[in-house]
Amino acid sequence: MDGKRVLIIGLGLIGGSIALAIKKKHKAVIVGFDVDETQAKLAKSLDIIDDITDSLEEGVKGASLIIIATPVQQTEKIIDQLAMLSLEENVIITDVGSTKKSIVDKSSVLKNKNAIFIGGHPMAGSHKSGVIASKAHLFENAFYILTPDTNCQKRFVNGLKNWLEGTNATFIEMSPSQHDKLVGVISHFPHIIAASLVHQLAHVEEEEQNISRFAAGGFRDITRIASSSPIMWRDILLHNRDVLLSLLEKWELEMTSVKKMLKKADENEIYDYFSSAKQFRDKLPERSKGAIPSFYDLFVDVEDYPGVIAHVTGILGGRDISITNIRIIETREDILGVLRLSFRSEAERQKAKTLLSEYRYETYILD
């Protein structure tokens, strides 16, 4: 694919990460287009893309692959715009949107263009937005769902997989409706619940000042995704309305049964509720695969003195162990500090644990 042109429309977290993944395996020229000029300039200055184009009309010229990485309502508008342009013969057009049915339906406007549209959705991401958060390894070991038309030739699907090889993702094909149903349960609905928990806290705080100060690990873990882009989630909810409305009905029934259980105060029943959920959760597929991102966390008890973080990170850095995330858990600030360090693999976490123990740091794994 050397020397070929790739156009990426939307240079945010996902567009940027896909560009970096393509660069790992191909010497193609990556051209970027974004309505937000600062994102495009940033992508260029970080070498995530090779060139900026300021119009779709220019950008599609000579492009063998077009990737649309914008919020899903914009994606539909862009497909309409592409249908009005003169495209290269057999150009592959794909998207990365979190919904598939509306987008794939819309792609029928490209039918007479000799363009091949293959819907796509890399099942990994972050609550962060913008090109600055892009990573070449964002999709490593994640599922990458493709929704090719049933009559799409295999060579085009394989061509797209070849372009995206550097994601190191596992490709899986399904229909757009199946995608929306499945992803509704494991991704879209949990985002509604996360946002609703935050709203619940905000409402309580109207009566009890400063209560959010005490929000500890559990609340923070379950609501991390509530910090995601509201534009992205507005669009997703509007696209997957029917699936989500049906899940909300099931959720109402679930909550009604929890209410009944609590009113009865039957300790066995309450135990079973949590125990069966734990058993199911513990059996989820290996963390290295799937929609749940890989976090290998290590908790380190540290005394609260200036420079302690630099000491811990220095020890690990000295042995080339890279930390993917670091957080200070503040709930124990009066006694001890707790550092939560995240690593990319179990092996790195174990290495860090052994090394920090040699320096007499107490460490815990809480999986």
Ligand X SMILES: O=C(O)C(=O)C[C@]1(C(=O)O)C=C[C@@H](O)C=C1
Ligand Y SMILES: NC(=O)c1ccc[n+]([C@@H]2O[C@H](COP(=O)([O-])OP(=O)(O)OC[C@H]3O[C@@H](n4cnc5c(N)ncnc54)[C@H](O)[C@@H]3O)[C@@H](O)[C@H]2O)c1
Residues at the site binding ligand Y, with contacts judged by CB under 6 A: 9-15, 33-36, 39, 69-72, 74, 78, 96-98, 121-122, 125-126, 129-130, 229, 232, 236
User: Which of 187, 324, 342, 350 contacts ligand X by CB under 6 A?
Assistant: 187
Distances (CA, A) of 39 to 70, 133, 351: 12, 11, 37
From the list ligand X, ligand Y, none, pick the one residue 290 interacts with, judged by a Cβ distance below 5 to 8 Å according to partner type: none
From the list ligand X, ligand Y, none, pick the one residue 69 interacts with, judged by a Cβ distance below 5 to 8 Å according to partner type: ligand Y
Considering the complex, state which of residue 44 and residue 239 has its C-beta at the smaller distance from ligand X. 239
From the list ligand Y, ligand X, none, pick the one residue 168 interacts with, judged by a Cβ distance below 5 to 8 Å according to partner type: none
Site for ligand X in 59-118 (CB under 6 A): 98
320: nearest Cα among 347, 288, 293, 360: 347
Q: If binding means CB under 6 A, how many residues of this protein chain bind ligand X?
A: 11
From the list ligand Y, ligand X, none, pick the one residue 187 interacts with, judged by a Cβ distance below 5 to 8 Å according to partner type: ligand X
* HSE value, Cβ hemisphere, 13 Å, CA-based, for 262: 7
From the list ligand Y, ligand X, none, pick the one residue 36 interacts with, judged by a Cβ distance below 5 to 8 Å according to partner type: ligand Y
3-state helix, strand, coil in the chain (%, to 5): 50, 15, 30
Using CA atoms in the order 73, 74, 79, 85, what is the torsion angle rounded to 10 degrees? 160
Site for ligand X in 279-298 (CB under 6 A): 291, 293
Residue 60, H or E segment: none
Q: Is 10 in the site for ligand X (CB under 6 A)?
A: no
Report residue 185 CA to chain centroid gap. Answer: 15
Contact 120, 95 (CB under 8 A): yes
Q: Which residues contact 27 (CB under 8 A, 6 or more apart)?
A: 1, 2, 3
CB of 21 to ligand Y, least distance (A): 13
CB of 122 to ligand X, least distance (A): 7
CB of 72 to ligand X, least distance (A): 10
CB of 194 to ligand Y, least distance (A): 13
From the list ligand X, ligand Y, none, pick the one residue 33 interacts with, judged by a Cβ distance below 5 to 8 Å according to partner type: ligand Y
Contact 258, 273 (CB under 8 A): yes
Contact 308, 302 (CB under 8 A): yes
Tell me the three state secondary structure of residue 296. strand
Considering the complex, state which of residue 231 and residue 308 has its C-beta at the smaller distance from ligand Y. 231
Considering the complex, state which of residue 160 and residue 316 has its C-beta at the smaller distance from ligand Y. 160
Q: What is the CA radius of gyration of the chain?
A: 23
Q: Which residues contact 133 (CB under 8 A, 6 or more apart)?
A: 13, 16, 126
Tell me the three state secondary structure of residue 67. strand
322: nearest Cα among 296, 286, 287, 288: 296
Q: x/- contact string, 122-161, with ligand X (CB under 6 A)?
A: -xxxxx----------------------------------
From the list ligand X, ligand Y, none, pick the one residue 10 interacts with, judged by a Cβ distance below 5 to 8 Å according to partner type: ligand Y
From the list ligand X, ligand Y, none, pick the one residue 192 interacts with, judged by a Cβ distance below 5 to 8 Å according to partner type: none
Q: Is 215 in the site for ligand X (CB under 6 A)?
A: no
Which residues here bind ligand X, judged by CB under 6 A? 98, 123-127, 187, 225, 228, 291, 293
